[in-house]
Amino acid sequence: MSRRDRIEQALTAALHPATLDVRDESHLHVGHAGARPGGETHYRIIISARAFQGTTLVARHRLVNEALRDEFATGLHALAIAATPAN
């Protein structure tokens, strides 16, 4: 299973998003810190979830990062996160 698939599974299980888009942008970071051959190190996540209602942007990012703790422990280097509350 790819890291992208694991990220989608983890976020779905933790936050039950209304919308979720996970993009591997590792190819844009070749030669930068944390980049590795084969990619799967840098991702962009666009997520909308009811779990974000009433939370600050920082709290939303913390929820996403917490859900992906295992991925960070196994080579995920960076996330660009756009997190909004769902209606």
pLDDT tens, residue by residue, 41-87: 889 999 999 999 999 999 999 999 999 999 999 989 889 999 999 98
The reported pLDDT for the residue numbered 87 is: 83
Number of domains in the chain: 1
| Residue 34 contacts residue 25 (beta carbons within 8 Å) | no
Q: Which range of residues forms the domain containing residue 72?
A: 3-85
pLDDT in tens, 8-46: 999 999 999 999 999 998 866 566 665 566 667 889 999
Residue with tokens 């209606």: 87
Give dist(CA 76, CA 6) in Å, integer. Answer: 11
* SS3 label, residue 46: strand
Q: What's the predicted TM-score (pTM) here?
A: 0.86
The reported pLDDT for the residue numbered 40 is: 75
The reported pLDDT for the residue numbered 75 is: 86
CATH of the domain at 24: 3.30.300.90
